Amino acid sequence: MTRPIAIFDTTLRDGEQSPGASMNTAEKLLVAEELVNLGVDVIEAGFPVSSPGDFDSVREVGAIAGDACVVCGLTRAVDRDIEVAAEALETAKRPRIHTGLGVSPSHLKDKLRITEDEALERAVHAVAYAKSFVEDVEFYAEDAGRADEEFLARICEAAIKAGATVLNIPDTTGYNLPWDFGERIRNLMGRVAGIEDVTVSVHTHNDLGMATALALEAVRAGATQVECTINGLGERAGNTSLEEVVMAIRMHGEELDAHTHVVTQRLTRASRLVSSITGIQVQPNKAIVGANAFAHSSGIHQDGVLKARDTYEIIDPADVGAGGSQIVLSARSGHAALRHRMAELGFSFEDAEFEDVYDAFLEVADKKRLVYDEDLVSIVHERRRSERALWKLKAVQVSCGFPLTPTATIILEDERGRQHKEAAWGNGPVDAVYKVVDKVVGIKNDLSEFSVKAITRGIDALGEVTVRVVAQDGRIFVGHGSDNDIVVSSARAYLNALNRLLSAEREQG
C-alpha cells in the first residue's frame, strides 16, 4: 500500500493573495464547500489577524467543515496573531494553527533583523504558545529553500520538541531546482530527531515554472503533505497547482509511493468555480483543467483518439470531471437535454431554480445558432453573480455613432428592491454606461483594466468582459460579466466589481 499524501489547500489564503483575486466571506464559503466535497485534508482558511474579513472567514469555514477536514489559520510568530487565530478557530472541530518565521540569511538579516539564536527562540515560543490553544500546530520555516541547512535542521528539531505536529518546508521564492529541493528534504528526514513522528509538508512556488516538479520531488524524498491551490493561484507566479499534483500522484503513485484522497472527478468543477469567483481565467492550455486539455485539432491526433482514446490522452477526461464528447445545444433543445448536460458539467438545480436557468439558456439560444459548454457555465455563473449582488442591472440602453454623442440610460435595483434610473453621456458607449453606474452607486474607484473576449467561437458568441477596479485604499477588485451584447457585458462586469468592493467595505465595518 502506498503512503497517503495530505493535500493542504491554501486557495483561500495564499491563493487570495494573487492581485485581484480577493474574495469576500460569502465567496470564500462557496469555495470552502467545494474543497470539502473535493476531499482535501486541510483548508487554510485565512490569516485571522490581518483583517475582520479574514477572521470571519476562518470562523465560518471552521463551522461548515465539521469533521471532514482540518481548518487552519495562519499567524506570524507573534503572540497576538496566535491568540486571534485561536479565537477564530473555536468553531472548527479539527483546528490547526500555522505559525512560523523566515529562516534564510536574507530573511533573518534583512527582514527580521535577528540572529539565528533569536529566531530559534522565537520559533520555540510561538509553537509552544500555539500548542497551549490547539493540539495541532504547524511550524513554517519561511524561505527554507535558501536557508543554511544546518540551521534549518536545528530550528525544525526545536519546533518538534516544542510541540509542532507538522513541519512546513517552503521554497518560498520558487528558487530551487527539483533535485536540490528533494535532497534538502531527504537530508532533513535523516538528521532531524523526531521528524518521523510528524507530518513533513512542502509549500512551493512557481517563479521558475517548477512548483509541481518541486512538490513531487519532495514527496519522492519523504514529504507527506503538499500545500497547493486551485488553478495554481498565489503570490507572484503562483503556487503549486492542486490539480496537477493530485493527478501526477494518481498517474505515478507506485513510483512516488504515494496516493491522495481527493475526489478527482470534481477537479474541473472546482477550477471553474474559483475562476468565476476571482475573475482570473485559466489559460486554455493549462494542464488538467484548461479548455484545451482534452481538445484535439490535428487530423492525425483526431484519427488516433477516435480509434483509441489513450493514443493521445493519458487521462480520461471523466476522471477530472471534464466530461466526454460535447453535447452542443440549441434553441430547439428541451429541458431534459439541458439538465443532462448541466449535470455532466457538475451543476444540479432544484426545479424552481432550473426553470430560471432554462429561461436564461433560451435567451442565449434565441440569439445564437449553437450553445456550447462554455456558454452554459457562463449562464450559471452570471446568474449566481446577480443573486449575490447588492446592486442589480435591470436595464441598459445606449445610443452612439458618428457624429452622435454616446449616451447611456440605466435602471439599477438596490438590495431593498428600489429602482434607480439615470442617464449620462461619455466618450463612448461603455464610458457612458460606467458614468451612469458611478452616478447611481456613488463609490469612488479607478478602472485599471478592461478586457473583452469571446467565450465561444462564431460571430454570435457570448462576449465576456473582465474589469479591475482599484479602491481608494489600493485594494483591487475584479468584475466579470457576460452577454451577447458587449455593452451589457461591460455593465455587468463593472457592477460586479463594485458590488465586491462594497461587500468588502461592509465586512471591514
Over the stretch 127-159, which tens digit does the pLDDT of each residue have?
Answer: 999 999 999 999 999 999 999 999 999 999 999
- Is there a contact between 422 and 407 (Cβ–Cβ < 8 Å)? no
CATH number for position 472? 3.30.160.270
In a domain, 284, yes or no: no
- Both 305 and 330 in one domain: the answer is no
Kindly indicate the confidence band of residue 403, based on its pLDDT and cuts at 50, 70 and 90: confident
With a CB cutoff of 8 Å and minimum separation 6, the contacts of 482 are 378, 381, 382, 455, 462, 463, 464, 465, 489, 492
In a domain, 341, yes or no: yes
* C-alpha distances out from residue 94 to 12, 69, 97, 134, 138, Å: 17, 7, 10, 9, 13
Mean pLDDT of the chain: 89
Average pLDDT over residues 487-506: 88
Maximum CA pair distance of the chain?
Answer: 79
* C-alpha distances out from residue 101 to 117, 156, 180, 202, 258, Å: 13, 12, 22, 15, 29
In a domain, 288, yes or no: no
- Both 201 and 240 in one domain: the answer is yes
**Which cell is 317 given?**
477526461
Asked if residue 237 has pLDDT above 50, the reply is yes
- Both 151 and 221 in one domain: the answer is yes
Kindly indicate the confidence band of residue 298, based on its pLDDT and cuts at 50, 70 and 90: very low
With a CB cutoff of 8 Å and minimum separation 6, the contacts of 54 are 46, 47, 48
Q: SS3 letters for 14-81?
A: CHHHCCCCCCCHHHHHHHHHHHHHHCCCEEEEECHHHCHHHHHHHHHHHHHHCCCCEEEEECCCCHHH
Average pLDDT over residues 86-115: 96
- How many CB atoms lie under 10 A from the CB of residue 135? 11
State the helix-helix crossing angle for 149-162 and 178-191, rounded to 10 degrees: 50
- Both 141 and 178 in one domain: the answer is yes
- Both 255 and 308 in one domain: the answer is no
In a domain, 117, yes or no: yes
- Both 148 and 244 in one domain: the answer is yes
Q: Answer with the one of 278, 309, 335 that is the final residue of a domain.
A: 278
- Both 105 and 149 in one domain: the answer is yes
In a domain, 202, yes or no: yes
- Both 267 and 319 in one domain: the answer is no
- Both 190 and 313 in one domain: the answer is no
Average pLDDT over residues 345-364: 86
- How buried is 196 (Cβ within 10 angstroms: 0-12 exposed, 13-18 middle, 19+ buried)? exposed
Q: Answer with the one of 370, 388, 406 that is the final residue of a domain.
A: 388
- pLDDT for 304 equals 56
Kindly indicate the confidence band of residue 295, based on its pLDDT and cuts at 50, 70 and 90: low
Query: In what helix (H) or strand (E) does residue 140 lie, and over which residues does it extend?
Result: strand 136-142
CATH number for position 245? 3.20.20.70
Sheet strands (E) in 199-283: 199-204, 225-228, 258-259
The highest-confidence range among 132-141, 376-385, 405-414, 472-481, by mean pLDDT, is: 132-141
DSSP string, 364-410: HHHH-S-B-HHHHHHHHHHHHHHHH-SSEEEEEEEE--TTSPPEEEE
- How buried is 466 (Cβ within 10 angstroms: 0-12 exposed, 13-18 middle, 19+ buried)? buried
In a domain, 289, yes or no: no
- pLDDT for 167 equals 98
CA pair distance 349, 343, nearest whole angstrom:
9
Residue with cell 500555539: 130
- Could you tell me how far CA 212 lies from the centroid of its own chain? 16
CA pair distance 382, 271, nearest whole angstrom:
16
- Both 160 and 24 in one domain: the answer is yes
- Both 82 and 200 in one domain: the answer is yes
Domain that holds residue 320: 294-325
In a domain, 376, yes or no: yes
Kindly indicate the confidence band of residue 326, based on its pLDDT and cuts at 50, 70 and 90: very low
Q: Answer with the one of 243, 278, 313 that is the final residue of a domain.
A: 278
In a domain, 242, yes or no: yes
* Total domains, the chain: 4
- pLDDT for 98 equals 98
Going by DSSP bridges, is the β-strand pair 446-454/463-470 parallel, antiparallel, or unpaired?
antiparallel
User: Cα-flanking dihedrals φ and ψ of residue 431, to 5°?
Assistant: -60, -40
Q: Is 227 helix (H, G, I), strand (E, B) or coil?
A: strand
CA pair distance 414, 401, nearest whole angstrom:
31
- How many CB atoms lie under 10 A from the CB of residue 458? 11
- Both 8 and 43 in one domain: the answer is yes
